């Protein structure tokens, strides 16, 4: 650990960080904060402190959070059985009520509280507020293992972003306020939908034309076949790695979300480990970076 009392070391750190601060001055950075990364209170408080420091440094951070583990725990406590298909939680009416309660209520306000306790001014919102995100119902197909026939799976009240209205966010950004967004949205008919947090964050980042979209996960980033971190990728390289089987499993939809955000105008996307202390600051304010940077 460095000696915090050494003024020369502090000055040296600030000098090295200054060019990066200038680079992101008044820039919008969307940070997707994952459910697993939120499990440890100290990590959560460190994350809140990092968001406050970014805002005070002239950056406009927007936080989008998940909460899959917390939703699962609450459903178990209430005796509501969870089922998954095509990697998504089947969300019936009882489940979507719990999803909204946990995401837009418990978790959202917890993150807001942490940021505010660290000297920030956070405001908790969800996709419903100001019609920020209008969702459409998700449809997925799966292959029956016995008949090998594709069939459509009804996921219930699971949605994906269809329309993003950034009016509310435009009114907040640049005013010393940190928006904290829960991935819950209305459909055109007013029905509540559970939206995948990665997809929701990518849509927000794209609509805002964010300079950076940071996707915090529980792995270091995109790994090669030898499990070594790949520090930089282009969209074409990502597609090639998916095609040859290097990128597999749950990393595929994350990378596809990154590609979507880049195609919508985001300058760069980074997949990084949210459990590493101050990972966001290391990525944005140092020469080293953290995780995998994906660019157009």
In DSSP notation, 202-250 reads: HHHHHHHT-SEEEEEESSSS-B-TTSPBP-EEEHHHHHHHHHTTSS-TT
Q: What is the mean pLDDT of residues 15-22?
A: 59
Residue 30 within a domain: yes
Q: What is the mean pLDDT of residues 37-41?
A: 71
Side-chain half-sphere exposure of 40, counting CA atoms within 13 A: 10
Query: Is residue 242 scored above 60 in pLDDT?
Result: yes
pLDDT above 70 as % of the chain: 89
Report the largest interatomic distance among the alpha carbons of the chain, rounded to a whole angstrom: 70
Domain harbouring 163, CATH code: 3.40.1160.10
pTM given for the model: 0.89
pLDDT digits (tens, 9 = 90+) for 80-106: 988 877 777 888 999 999 999 999 999
Are 253 and 160 in contact by the 8 Å Cβ rule? The answer is no
Query: Is residue 289 scored above 80 in pLDDT?
Result: no
Residue 19 within a domain: no
Q: What is the pLDDT of residue 9?
A: 60
Q: What is the pLDDT of residue 24?
A: 65
Residue 17 within a domain: no
Residue 171 within a domain: yes
Number of structural domains found in the chain: 1
pLDDT digits (tens, 9 = 90+) for 118-141: 999 999 999 999 999 999 999 887
Residue 285 within a domain: yes
The parent domain of residue 277 ranges over 26-295
Query: Is residue 27 scored above 80 in pLDDT?
Result: yes
Work out whether the CA dihedral 11, 25, 166, 161 comes out positive or negative: negative
């Amino acid at each position: 650990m460095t000696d915090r009392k050494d003024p020369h070391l502090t000055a040296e750190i600030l000098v090295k960080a200054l060019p990066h601060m200038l680079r992101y001055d008044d820039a919008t950075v969307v940070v997707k904060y994952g459910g697993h990364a939120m499990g440890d209170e100290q990590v959560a408080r460190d994350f809140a402190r990092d968001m406050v420091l970014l805002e005070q440094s002239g950056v406009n951070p927007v936080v989008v959070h998940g909460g899959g583990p917390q939703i699962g725990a609450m459903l178990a406590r209430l005796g509501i059985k969870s089922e998954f298909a095509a990697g998504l939680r089947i969300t019936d009416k009882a489940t979507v009520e719990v999803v909204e309660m946990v995401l837009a209520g418990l978790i959202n306000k917890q993150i807001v509280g942490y940021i505010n306790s660290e000297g920030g001014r956070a405001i908790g919102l969800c996709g419903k507020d100001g019609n920020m995100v209008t969702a459409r119902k998700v449809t997925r197909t799966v292959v029956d293992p016995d008949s090998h026939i594709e069939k459509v799976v009804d996921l219930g009240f699971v949605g994906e972003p269809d329309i993003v209205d950034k009016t509310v966010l435009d009114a907040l950004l640049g005013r010393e306020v940190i928006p904290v967004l829960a991935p819950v949205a209305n459909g055109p008919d007013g029905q509540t939908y559970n939206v995948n947090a990665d997809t929701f964050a990518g849509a927000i980042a794209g609509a805002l034309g964010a300079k950076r979209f940071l996707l915090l996960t529980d792995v270091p980033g995109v790994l090669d076949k030898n499990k070594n971190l790949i520090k930089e990728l282009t969209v074409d390289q990502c597609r090639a790695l998916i095609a040859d089987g290097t990128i597999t499993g749950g990393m595929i939809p994350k990378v596809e979300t990154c590609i979507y955000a880049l195609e919508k105008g985001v300058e760069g996307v980074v997949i990084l480990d949210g459990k590493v202390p101050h990972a966001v600051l290391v990525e944005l304010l140092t020469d080293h970076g953290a995780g995998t940077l994906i660019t157009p």
